[in-house]
Amino acid sequence: MMLGYCKQKGLRVSRRSLPPGFQHRKEQVSLAEEKAGLTFIAFITHITFIQPKLPQILLGNEHLFTWKLLNDLIHVTPSNFRVWRRVSSWNNHKVMCQILVLLKNCLKDYLDTHQIVLLMDAARCHFHTTIFSLANRLGIRLVYVPRKLTWLLQPLDTHCFAQLKRLLKQKWVELRVASESGVVSHAAWLAAVFGIAQKLFCGTKWTPAFKALLDETEGFSARVQKELSWKGPRPIPAEALSEEQLESIFPKRAHVNRASLLKWCLPEPKAKPKAKPKAKAGASPSAAASSSSDAPGVVGEDPSGPISSHTRAKKRKLMEGLFAM
């Protein structure tokens, strides 16, 4: 997501249409400002009363999200929005782990009645062994959209982001027109982003977005079947995905630990029997056998060979002790 919609294409006024004494003026924007961007990590659900509880995260670097800007945003940030200041504006494995913890904390009141299922695309920042392990500990089920099918199977991409971008562009133009200098401050723009996103996410019923992907009774929707050129419905398998199927979902040459990702549905591996202790180096077979049988109160014999003098002396002392009792 761009921090602003600077230098966007739109209606152009020819020179002949300009009033006398006026001339075209380019938008005064630095190259860094033009290319500045942040990551908007959004969540939607088909359950209406849970949607306001879902976190919405703006991730920006230290140059964009200055401490002064964060202080200006304190009083205009909705309760379910988070503004994270990090070294980079890009998502990564460490940030994903923080997102999983935040998601569970926001939905803690529904953990006894609902199962958290997180649907994501197969971007490399979304999958890693550390992410799989943490999700298993938190009780979150991770589901990944196969590569190159995000446009078809990701509800945010099919029903949400296009509306959000259109509304943001309109708001950017309105703010520029209302500004005397034509410049929109970061604080004013992010406050507008909060309002637009909050109204869109909480004011829209997202059930059609999920039904366009999957129907509880009929399986994959008719739209998905048509786009994939399937003839007739395809059954949804109940067993865990195989290694070959996982390779078709994630990017090429990606290393995905199947046991870690699907730990919640795979059978527990059988415990291996403990290995017998090895004899010490240099010890004879008779000495190794005698050491295992020389327990207090037990008299053992070594059937593999003659009894050594050391073993005979130990047995004599043991027998004297038993008679003394």
110 domain residue, yes or no: yes
Q: How confident is the model at residue 284 (pLDDT cuts 50, 70, 90)?
A: low
Is it the case that residue 282 has pLDDT exceeding 70?
no
| Residues ≥6 apart with Cβ < 8 Å to 288 | 279, 280
pLDDT, tens digit (0-9, with 9 covering 90-100), for 97-153: 999 999 999 999 999 999 999 999 999 999 999 999 999 999 999 999 999 999 999
CB 76 within 8 A of CB 196: no
User: Which range has the worst mean pLDDT, 7-16, 210-219, 272-281?
Assistant: 7-16
- Note the pLDDT of residue 130: 97
121 bridge partner residues: 145
Residue 287: the pLDDT is 47
Is residue 169, in this structure, part of any structural domain at all?
A: yes
Q: What is the pLDDT of residues 35-48, one digit of tens each?
A: 778 999 999 999 99
pLDDT top residue among 181 and 189: 189
Asked if the model's pLDDT at residue 251 lies above 60, the reply is yes
If one counts the domains in the chain, the total is 1
Percent over 70 (pLDDT), the chain: 74
Instruction: Spell out the residues 6+ positions from residue 276 whose beta carbon is closer than 8 angstroms to its own.
Output: none
Mean pLDDT of 52-59: 97
Which residues constitute the domain of residue 88? 31-212
Whether residue 97 is contained in a domain is answered as yes
Which pLDDT value is given to residue 13?
52
Res 44: pLDDT: 97
The answer to whether residue 181 is domain-embedded is yes
CA angle (285 as vertex; 283, 290 as ends), nearest 5: 90
Does a structural domain hold residue 55? yes
Residue pair 179/283 in contact by the 8 Å Cβ criterion:
no
| 240 domain-assigned | no
Neighbours of 284 (CB within 10 A): 12
Give the residue-averaged pLDDT of 270-293: 59
pLDDT of residue 267: 85
Task: Measure the CA–CA gap between 145 and 196, rounded to whole angstroms.
Answer: 27
Give, in order, the Cα–Cα distances in Å from 217 to each of 46, 111, 221, 289.
Answer: 16, 25, 10, 66
144 assigned to some structural domain = yes
d(CA 293, CA 300): 6
Give pLDDT, residue 184.
87
The confidence score (pLDDT) of residue 23 equals: 63
Work out the pLDDT band at 298, boundaries 50, 70, 90: very low
pTM: predicted TM-score of the whole model, two decimal places: 0.76
pLDDT value for 318: 58
- Asked if the structure places residue 145 within a domain, the reply is yes
